[in-house]
Structure 1
């Protein structure tokens, strides 16, 4: 036999019970101060806390549970052990003091790595500096129950304290525990719950997933579920690249997992990688053709790329499967409107409002389509409905002002623009169009002030510069008119020269040499 295989089991981890018994024997023999580090999962730690006093009944064992980050363990221990007879102190939860130092992206939190090379967590500095006090003042054994990543922190960032170790024990996880904990994480997986976690809690949860994925007793089916949920957790943390990587790993084991393809598409779209997102949605609907959400999101992504016809086809598939999906009808209407098919767009918005009568976005979009068709009165009624359901919807107030201005109702238009600006003070288009309404009422000074506000928020808005030039031209202020017209032309030469050559507002200065020179340049 080849000698390379003689010690084939040398690298295998010890059996869980054997590792535990080694720890028990060490603690039975030890008296006085000692430092023991036990690498285990939180569940295994809880089991050990119950079992150890039963197996070492002649020693007084206490448990200090840390449930939040601390910077001073010595003080916490001193307060805890006061008036207690202790031979062994089990400490669980030290990792809470380390989570906030995990500065890398969540996707890089992997087994056996530690992160912040430029600073040492306060708790570890404290352990290094106070180790003699621990030895001199506490004549009992410390047993730290730690995650694997915490052990690495101690090795690299608290070497003085760790070097005094009396022993390090790794408790392998049993197949039954791997199955139970994996199923728990998979069954309890909830995106909304992930969103509510703090950064430290998200890191803790990521490590929990990764610990289970690394277990030798893990099955392929459970790996798929864990990787999928890990992807969802990473997505909730806005770690989109890492989420995609997790979905990809799940799909290697189960290529037809349509949920992973769908969520992968959403993550890709958040990164602006729309073409890849569409390919991912294509895979999702290939394996689950009846997923209306995948068809809808596919349509949204095509829309983002300006591929409106394809987007409409995708929306059509979505509403074929789920006819009452109001968001899809609304999105479909926007794509139709982009193609100039305003009548069809209105019908699509009407479908959205049939199923969701208070959908203010659909009322507003319907108003825009009516406005595009010159049906201003109907457009105003539609905007009014939008504002009935969402009174602070600044876009609807703005659009309503435009329709009122088209009808020559400039005073009402100004009031509508004022409402838009009340809710969105930096809305430069509203300031500009408010100026136009004031200009129509021959209130030129107020119009100029409104244009100035537009330019405060959008200095390269050529329309506002041009509109100011018109106001000054009507006031026979040739110098100011030409100065503002020059800026407008510099920003948009073709359009502004076309306007200026035909605009009657410039009649009073049209013979001015500077004006002529500007037009001829």
Structure 2
């Protein structure tokens, strides 16, 4: 029997279904040998490399498939899925390579730290942000990201220290002000939190997170009218996100059963 490219490609798919990845790779390569412009074979071979934990080879093959057949919907979809699953891993590997080549390369420690924080590797991320600050102590972005990791870990006093420095350098940094307000709320400094959120909203009155967390603060203090007022502003920005945030947020327990809260029609 003489097999053409399609036959080898289909055989490769059957082998993938059985979990025989090495054998499947051979079939996809045979399909490419028979038909060098067989986009489907490149696409399928890419998926096998991704499954085997070789994302760089997979990426190259996905891009080849799309270059050969730009209208191949499956190839575009598979590349999208691959990037969603492996994008951060690819970035991390490149940042590692950058540091090996040039340890003081601008911003690499910051971006590497952000990539690690994204996947919950906070200890390593903290070290990278600190290295970035050793290189440039005026890097407010690295300092803010360091504060965000401390906030995520519940190390609120450490976060406050870093955020104060950021805001001292950039008084109109709304995101830093909101994060500082959250830290103050978490540590029970409600007056400072209220003042900080108001500073943020003076710069950006419609800020989603600023209004949400100020509403939470007012709810904690049983200021129902103010809590509802700021929730209404946040809802106008993104009602679906509010729904996700608020359903398990105990900060709103004091107003959750009130008529004014129910009228917001969040759920």
TM-score (norm 1): 0.34
Report the Cα distance in structure 2 between the residues aligned to 1:422 and 1:359, rounded to whole angstroms: 26
User: 2:186: which partner in 1?
Assistant: 440
> Which residue pairs with 1:363 in the alignment?
109
Report the counterpart of residue 263 of structure 2 in structure 1. Answer: 517
Please say if 1:456 is aligned against 2:193.
no
Alpha-carbon spacing, 1:445–1:396, altered in 2? closer, same or farther (3 Å): same
1:497 paired residue number: 243
Q: Say yes or no: does 1:426 pair with 2:172.
A: yes
Q: 1:425: Cα distance to partner?
A: 1.9
Residue pair 2:92, 2:116 contacting (<8 A) in 1 also: yes
Q: 1:478 aligns with which of 224, 227, 238?
A: 224
* SS of equivalent residue, structure 1 residue 502: coil
Select which of 154, 157, 181 maps to 1:411.
157
Q: Which shows bigger deviation, 418-427 or 483-492?
A: 418-427
2:214–2:230 CA contact under 8 A, matched in 1:
yes
Cα distance, 1:500 vs. partner?
2.9
Q: In 2, Cα distance between the equivalents of 1:416 and 1:410?
A: 10
Deviation of 1:511 (Å): 1.9
2:252 corresponds in structure 1 to 506
Structure 1: gaps (5+ residues): 1-308, 315-335
User: Please, which of 393, 396, 413 is the counterpart of residue 142 of structure 2?
Assistant: 396
Q: Which position in structure 2 is the counterpart of 1:488? A: 234
Tell me: CA distance 1:388–1:444, structure 2 relative to 1, closer, same or farther (3 Å).
same
Give the alignment of 1:76-475 within 5 angstroms. 340-475=86-221
Please report how far the alpha carbon of residue 360 of structure 1 lies from its aligned counterpart in structure 2 after TM superposition.
3.8
Deviating runs (4+, > 6 A) in structure 1? 336-339
CA deviation profile, 1:134-179 (whole Å, cap 9, x unmatched): xxxxxxxxxxxxxxxxxxxxxxxxxxxxxxxxxxxxxxxxxxxxxx
Q: Return closer, same or farther for 1:472/1:491 CA change in 2, 3 Å cut-off.
A: same
Alpha carbons of 1:413 and 1:514: their partners in 2 closer, same or farther (altered >3 Å)?
A: same
8 Å CA contact 1:401, 1:416 repeated in 2: yes
Mark the CA change 1:337 to 1:387 in structure 2 (over 3 Å): closer, same or farther. farther
SS in 2 for 1:349: helix
- C-alpha displacement at 1:452, in angstroms? 1.7
Instruction: Report the Cα distance in structure 2 between the residues aligned to 1:356 and 1:313, rounded to whole angstroms.
Output: 25
What secondary structure, in the 3-state scheme, does the structure 2 residue paired with 1:353 have?
helix
340 and 435 in structure 1: CA distance in 2 versus 1, 3 angstrom threshold: farther
Following the alignment from structure 2 to structure 1, what is the Cα–Cα distance between the partners of residues 221 and 183? Answer: 17
Provide Cα deviations, 1:407-447, integer angstroms capped at 9, x if missing partner: 21100001111122222221111111111111111222211
Please give the TM-score of this superposition, normalised by the length of structure 2.
0.65
Q: Which has the higher strand share?
A: 1
Could you tell me how far apart the structure 1 residues matched to 2:103 and 2:168 are? 26
Q: Highest Rg: 1 or 2?
A: 1
Whole-Å separation in 1 of the counterparts to 2:211 and 2:85 = 31
**Aligned-CA RMSD value:** 2.5
Note if contact 1:380-1:403 (Cα within 8 Å) is conserved in structure 2: yes
Taking a change above 3 Å as real, the CA distance of residues 443 and 337 of structure 1, as seen in their structure-2 partners, is farther
Q: Deviations over 1:462-505 (max 9, x none)?
A: 11101000000010111111111111112222212332343211
Q: CA deviation at 1:514?
A: 0.8
| Distance (Å, rounded) in 1 between the aligned partners of 2:222 and 2:95 | 48
Once the two structures are TM-superposed, the CA of residue 513 in structure 1 deviates from its matched residue by: 0.8
CA distance in 1, matches of 2:84, 2:145: 17
Q: How far apart are the structure 1 equivalents of 2:230 and 2:205?
A: 12
Shift of 1:340: 5.0
- Provide closer, same or farther for how the CA distance between residues 494 and 507 of structure 1 changes in structure 2, counting only shifts above 3 A: same
Q: Is the 8 A contact 1:473 1:505 kept in 2?
A: yes
